């Protein structure tokens, strides 16, 4: 069902894009359009929400603190709803494998729950000693990596056996995986990114100096890592030598009064999308030039953003569970 | 409706009267009890914590919406403490009861007067502040703070915010608790470890002794009345009592389901009873020997999240995940 705020938000976003158009650098012709907004989850007050794009299809998923994960078709039709047997707030989730048939979620109660198909019974992995903050499948290695409030990065076999765990300072909060680099990135709230092999061997560590990191992603076709969070900045790192060397390429400054950077995504063209506490989706070139500025969430926090495989469709999710679909030209 | 014969009704009354007389005849030491005195909706969202002022006249709550609130014990609001990023995990009175400190998810701590006026804003961490206490001045140290954070650190500062000492641990440093003299600080990590921090006189250095509890994440820490034990409420549903050398001395299963959330001794004597709360919504009273004395089903469908006894041990404040607060009269054996 469409959000009651749909019209005003669409109008506001369009206005913002047009107003910004005069400020865009020559040669940059991004004119993103807000295509759809709908309330995927009825969230109130303090909440947690992530939107997850499939790597291989137009499906996407929403995972929230209401304890459910939902898989949606490209046009916003609900396809599946996943609720773990042990009910708990969910922190994040991922599609399992390239066919999108399975899904896995990370939960506040310390478990990851994994469905091999929408009709299969869930299998639990864990528990951690505290909340499981993220879960990252390694499909080509039949592994699963989890992170936790207890500070551990854990590597699990496909059948749920713990292979190894690596203690880290503070909370380990977010995970990302690059199949091409064969690297897992794990953020710590102390402001570090730990780079590991899929077997859990630490390859390198980046001291970002950004404080708590709310998101980390690899570029799909370049050896680039992007991370941001507490201080609102976004840093782009070039990785080399199997993750043992990281060179800072750019720092995109914190937009004024935007609050925390909550989510980041990058497509194959190097277009970067960021979302913040102020409810604004911002687009940047890889060199850090601002391209677009779209208020989407009426000053509610935007928590997460992802690119669909077409590299043009962006999806965001707000604090109240509203999904926005934004299309680049 | 079934009609109960007169003789049966008389017999029931007689039996009830006999039980009442028997109860009255019991020695006072055997009559532990919990009784709800009053209750009010203290927040529209999850209440994270409640604490009595040292004088017992007021209490403070901290909620998931980032709001702290000072209350009189009749339920009248005294002041609202807000402005920090939600959630607010903890709000604590200073030892003399004249000030309060609240934790912010933005890594801050705000210090407030007893009347609710904001006195100071301190940026302590670059991740969530999980817990923070005000520390009193000593002959060799000015007044200060100790804080724990999602960044895994325990940090000692003076009231100007200058960092005096810090230690880094794995996982969230979620819970803190200074002992009565603030010469020993217990801190917990979400991997189930407790770290006993002994600051030097000037608080610019400290020694740390860590031990593993049977828990994973710990939801509350307290010291026993004699200061010789540290208590931890865990996600395994138990409250553990450990000696300061880390030896586990007792473990109480305090909830039928889910997590143990909190505990509080009612009184400062070795005979003080212990109150516990957890996800099953039941307030339980335990003897110092670990015997269940009384229980009260306050919130059968919603977890109880915190409990605190007044300093005289006669009243307890209990809060739940739906924002309800109860004041409970505590009769100690």
- In tens, the pLDDT along B157-181 reads 999 999 999 999 999 999 999 999 9
Nearest to B171 among A46, A127, A130 (CB): A130
- The answer to whether A262 faces chain B, any CB pair under 8 Å, is no
Is B56 a domain residue? Answer: yes
Across the interface, whether the CB atoms of A151 and B126 are under 8 A apart is answered: no
Residues of A in contact with B64 (CB under 8 A): 45-46
**Euclidean distance between CA atoms B309 and B291, whole angstroms:** 19
Tell me whether residue B155 is in a domain: yes
Taking the Cβ of residue A230 and every Cβ of chain B, the question of whether any pair is shorter than 8 Å is answered with yes
Q: What is the ipTM of this complex?
A: 0.90
Using alpha carbons, list the distances in angstroms from residue B86 to A5, A173, B59, B63, B240.
Answer: 25, 18, 20, 8, 30
- Average pLDDT (B266-292) is 96
Domain contains B51: yes
Kind and range of the H or E run holding A303: strand A302-307
Residue B169 lies in a domain: yes
Quote the pLDDT of residue B25: 44
Above 70 in pLDDT, residue B316?
yes
pLDDT digits (tens, 9 = 90+) for B122-167: 999 999 999 999 999 999 999 999 999 999 999 999 999 999 999 9
Interface residue of A44, A149, A153, A262 to substitute, partner B, most B CBs within 10 Å: A149
DSSP lists the bridge partners of residue A275 as A263, A281
- Which of the two residues, B270 and A183, has the higher pLDDT score? A183
Smallest CA–CA separation between A226 and chain B, in Å? 19
What is the reported pLDDT for B32? 87
pLDDT at residue B30 in the model: 57
Residue with tokens 């819970």: B175
Strands B193-199 and A272-276, by their bridges, are unpaired
Q: Reply yes or no on whether the pLDDT at B7 is more than 80.
A: no
Question: Distance between CA B80 and CA B117 in Å, rounded?
Answer: 9
Provide the whole-model pTM: 0.91
Mean pLDDT of B228-256: 97
User: Sheet holding A245-252: strands in order across?
Assistant: A213-218, A224-229, A234-240, A245-252
Nearest alpha-carbon partner for A60 in A72, A48, A78: A72
Q: Does B153 touch chain A (CB under 8 A)?
A: yes
Share of chain B above pLDDT 70, in %: 91
DSSP-derived letter for residue A265 is: E
Q: How confident is the model at residue B241, as a pLDDT? A: 98
Q: What is the pLDDT of residue A102?
A: 93
pLDDT at B199: 98
Q: Does B114 reside within a domain?
A: yes
**Pick from A128, A149, A212: CB nearest B126:** A212
- Token look-up 């208590």 returns B231
Tokens at residue B149, please?
Answer: 């954070």
Instruction: Determine the Cα–Cα distance for residues A3 and A322; give it in Å rounded to an integer.
Output: 8
**Residue range B97-111: average pLDDT?**
98
What is the C-alpha to C-alpha distance for residues B240 and B231, in angstroms, rounded to an integer?
5
Give the 3-state secondary structure of residue A102: strand
Q: Does A149 touch chain B (CB under 8 A)?
A: yes
Chain A residues with CB inside 8 Å of B127's CB? 170-171, 189-190, 211-212, 230
Give the domain extent around B291.
32-331
Would an 8 Å CB–CB cutoff place B64 in contact with chain A? yes
pLDDT of residue A86: 85
Minimal CA separation from B174 to chain A, in Å = 10
B15-44 residues touching A, CB cutoff 8 A: 44
A-chain residues near B168 (CB < 8 A) = 169-170, 190
In a domain, B14, yes or no: no
Has residue B264 been placed in a domain? yes
Please give the pLDDT value at position A95. 96
Report the candidate in A310, A287, A272 with the shortest Cα–Cα distance to residue A59. Answer: A310
Position A29 scores a pLDDT of 52
Strand partners of residue A207: A192
Contact: B172, A151; criterion CB under 8 Å? yes
**Are A46 and B128 an interchain contact pair (Cβ–Cβ within 8 Å)?**
no
Q: What is the pLDDT of residue B275?
A: 98
| Cβ separation B189–A230 shorter than 8 A | no
Chain B contact present for A209, CB below 8 A: no
Distance from CA of B109 to the nearest CA of A (A): 16
Q: What is the distance between the alpha carbons of residues B206 and B199, in angstroms, rounded to a whole number?
A: 4
**In chain A, whose CA is at the least distance from the CA of B259?**
A109
Chain A CB within 8 Å of residue B330 CB: no
**Strand A112-115 vs strand A123-125: parallel, antiparallel, or unpaired?**
antiparallel
Residue-level pLDDT at A97: 76
Cα angle: A208, vertex A212, A218; to 5 degrees = 60
B78, pLDDT greater than 80: yes
Strand order from edge to edge, sheet including A280-284: A261-266, A272-276, A280-284, A290-295
3-state SS record for chain B:
CCCCCHHHHHHHHHHHHHHHHHHHHCCHHHCCEEEEEEEEECCCCCEEEEEECCCCCEEEEEECCCEEEEEECCCCEEEEEECCCCCCCCEEECCCCCEEEEECCCCEEEEEECCCCEEEEEECCCCCEEEEEEECCECCECCEEEEEECCCEEEEEECCCCEEEEEECEECEEEEEECCCCCCEEEEECCCEEEEEEECCCCCCEEEEEEECCCCCEEEEEECCCCCEEEEEECCCEEEEEECCCCEEEEEECCCCCCEEEEEEECCCCCCEEEEEECCCEEEEECCCCCEEEEEECCCCCCEEEEEECCCCCEEEEEECCCEEEEEEEECC
Contact at CB, B150 and A189, closer than 8 angstroms: yes
Query: What is the structure's pLDDT at B332?
Result: 84
Q: Which CATH number fits domain A6-327: 3.10.150.10, 3.30.365.10, 3.30.200.100, 2.130.10.10?
A: 2.130.10.10
pLDDT in tens for each of the 329 residues of chain A? 333 333 344 444 443 443 343 334 433 454 799 999 999 999 988 899 999 999 989 999 999 999 999 999 999 999 999 999 888 999 999 999 777 789 999 999 999 999 999 999 999 999 999 999 999 999 888 999 999 999 999 999 989 999 999 999 999 999 999 999 999 999 999 999 999 999 999 999 999 999 999 999 999 999 999 999 999 999 999 999 999 999 999 999 999 999 999 999 999 999 999 999 999 999 999 999 999 999 999 889 999 999 999 999 999 999 999 999 999 98
**Residues A151, B87: C-beta atoms closer than 8 Å:** no
Number of domains in chain B: 1
**Pairs of residues, one from chain A and one from chain B, whose beta carbons lie less than 8 Å apart:** 119
- B199-220 residue pLDDT tens: 999 999 999 999 999 999 999 9
A130 touches chain B (CB under 8 A): yes
pLDDT beyond 60 at B13: no
């Amino acid at each position: 069902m469409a959000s009651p705020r749909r019209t005003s938000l669409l109008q506001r976003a369009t206005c913002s894009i047009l107003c910004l158009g005069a400020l865009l650098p020559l040669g940059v012709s991004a004119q993103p359009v807000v295509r759809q907004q709908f309330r995927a989850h009825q969230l109130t007050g303090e909440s947690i929400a992530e939107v997850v794009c499939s790597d291989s299809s137009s499906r996407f998923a929403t995972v929230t603190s209401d304890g459910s994960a939902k898989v949606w078709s490209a046009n916003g039709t609900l396809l599946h709803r996943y609720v773990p047997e042990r009910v708990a707030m969910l922190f994040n989730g991922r599609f399992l494998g390239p066919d999108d048939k399975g899904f896995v979620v990370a939960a506040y109660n310390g478990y990851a729950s994994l469905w091999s198909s929408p009709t299969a019974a869930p299998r639990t992995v864990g528990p951690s000693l505290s909340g499981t903050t993220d879960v990252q499948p390694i499909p080509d290695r039949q592994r699963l990596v989890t992170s936790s409030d207890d500070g551990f990065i854990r590597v699990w076999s496909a059948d749920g056996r713990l292979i190894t765990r690596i203690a880290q300072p503070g909370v380990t909060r977010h995970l990302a995986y690059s199949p091409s680099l064969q690297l897992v990135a794990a953020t710590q709230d102390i402001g570090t990114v730990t780079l590991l092999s899929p077997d859990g061997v630490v390859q390198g560590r980046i001291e970002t100096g950004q404080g708590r990191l709310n998101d980390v992603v690899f570029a799909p076709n370049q050896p680039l890592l992007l991370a941001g969070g507490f201080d609102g900045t976004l840093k782009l790192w070039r990785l080399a030598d199997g993750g043992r060397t990281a060179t800072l390429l750019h720092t995109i400054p914190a937009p004024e009064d935007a609050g925390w950077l909550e989510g980041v995504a990058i497509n194959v063209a190097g277009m970067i999308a960021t979302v913040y506490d102020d409810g604004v989706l911002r687009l940047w070139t890889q060199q850090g030039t601002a391209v677009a500025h779209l208020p989407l969430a009426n000053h509610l926090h935007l928590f997460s953003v992802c690119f669909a495989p077409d590299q043009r469709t962006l999806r965001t999710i707000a604090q109240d569970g509203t999904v926005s679909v934004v299309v680049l030209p | 409706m079934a009609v109960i014969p007169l003789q049966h009704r008389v017999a029931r009354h007689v039996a009830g009267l006999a039980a009442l007389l028997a109860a009255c005849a019991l020695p006072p030491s055997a009559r532990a009890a919990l009784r709800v005195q009053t209750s009010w909706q203290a927040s529209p969202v999850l209440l994270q914590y409640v604490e009595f002022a040292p004088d017992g006249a007021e209490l403070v709550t901290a909620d998931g919406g980032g709001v702290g609130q000072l209350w009189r014990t009749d339920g009248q609001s005294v002041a609202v403490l807000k402005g920090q990023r939600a959630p607010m995990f903890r709000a604590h009175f200073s030892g003399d009861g004249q000030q309060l400190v609240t934790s912010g998810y933005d890594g801050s701590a705000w210090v407030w007067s007893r009347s609710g006026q904001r006195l100071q804003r301190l940026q302590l961490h670059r991740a969530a502040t999980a817990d923070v206490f005000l520390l009193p001045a000593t002959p060799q140290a000015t007044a200060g703070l100790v804080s724990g954070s999602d960044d895994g650190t325990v940090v000692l500062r003076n009231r100007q915010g200058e960092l005096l000492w810090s230690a880094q641990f794995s996982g969230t440093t979620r819970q803190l608790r200074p002992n009565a003299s603030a010469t020993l600080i217990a801190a917990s990590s979400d991997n189930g470890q407790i770290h006993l921090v002994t600051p030097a006189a000037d608080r610019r250095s400290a020694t740390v002794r860590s031990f593993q509890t049977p828990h994973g994440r710990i939801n509350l820490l307290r010291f026993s009345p004699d200061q010789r034990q540290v208590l931890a409420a865990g996600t395994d549903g138990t409250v553990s009592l450990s000696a300061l050398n880390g030896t586990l001395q007792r473990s109480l299963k305090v909830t039928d389901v889910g997590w143990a959330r909190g505990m509080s001794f009612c009184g400062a004597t070795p005979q003080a009873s212990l109150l516990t709360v957890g996800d099953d919504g039941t307030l339980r009273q335990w003897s110092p020997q670990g015997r269940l004395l009384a229980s009260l089903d306050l919130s059968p469908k919603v977890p109880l999240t915190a409990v605190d006894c007044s300093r005289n041990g006669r009243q307890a404040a209990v809060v739940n995940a739906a924002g309800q607060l109860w004041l409970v009269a505590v009769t100690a054996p």
